[in-house]
Amino acid sequence: MEMGEIIFYEDKNFQGRSYETSSDCAELTSFLSHCNSCRVESGCFMVYERPNYMGHQMLVRRGEYPDNQRLMGMNMNDCIRSCRMIPMHRGPFRMRIYEKENFGGQMNELMDDCDNIQDRFRMSDCQSAHVMDGHWLVYEQPHYRGRMIYLRPGEYRSMRDMGMAPMDMRIGSFRRIMDSC
């Protein structure tokens, strides 16, 4: 498995103290007082505005991100607080999505990207999911727009399990994370 590497900096434009990691980090303030820029040397990572992989999140690939405000958007707090490395996945992608919490209501299976769950499945809502294979991005709006959430293999019985408050976001589209970043 290929490992990723990311370097976080306390200040914008890669200034101040830095912390480098190749794995998940639930609380970056254990290493830095704050984090306002990052550089991805290799791999893909999800970065989060709150500790323990919560709050607004963004996929970052190899490259430089000199200002977290521009990276994360207007709703982002002043810094990144946690990150998750996304391992490279080779093989099939498979996920079941459910209309209601606890795998209730209408169920549909995905093996490829879905740019609009309403149009494709006639599902008005998605409240739970079971990721069997692969790593996925879930988007707030159709056509891969709006806020995103990273789902790795596992069971997500509710929106809260996916890392969001139930009334915080609706799900509009899904995309597989297929590239090596």
Q: How far apart are CA 173 and CA 116, in angstroms?
A: 5
Give the integer Cα–Cα distance in Å for 103 and 134: 19
Two tokens, residue 165: 């408050």
* pLDDT score, position 74: 39
Give residue 1's pLDDT: 45
Note the Cα 72 to chain centre separation in Å. Answer: 12
Of 60, 62, 67, nearest to 84 (Cα)?
Answer: 60
Ranges in the chain annotated CATH 2.60.20.10:
5-86, 94-176
Q: Alpha-carbon distance 127 to 99, whole Å?
A: 5
pTM of the full predicted structure? 0.86
Residue showing tokens 């290493």: 31
Q: Specify the CATH architecture of the domain 94-176.
A: Sandwich (2.60)
Residues facing 25 on adjacent strands: 83
| Contact call for residues 115 and 142 (beta carbons, < 8 A) | yes
User: Which top CATH class is 5-86?
Assistant: mainly beta
| Dihedral pair phi/psi, residue 114, rounded to 5° | -135, 110
Tens digit of pLDDT per residue, the chain (181 long)?
457 899 999 999 999 999 999 999 999 999 999 898 999 999 999 999 889 998 888 999 999 999 877 666 534 456 899 999 999 888 999 999 999 999 999 999 999 999 999 999 998 889 999 999 999 999 989 999 988 999 999 999 998 887 766 566 789 999 999 875 5
Residue 82 C-beta-side C-alpha neighbours within 13 Å: 15
Q: How far apart are the first and last CA of the chain?
A: 13
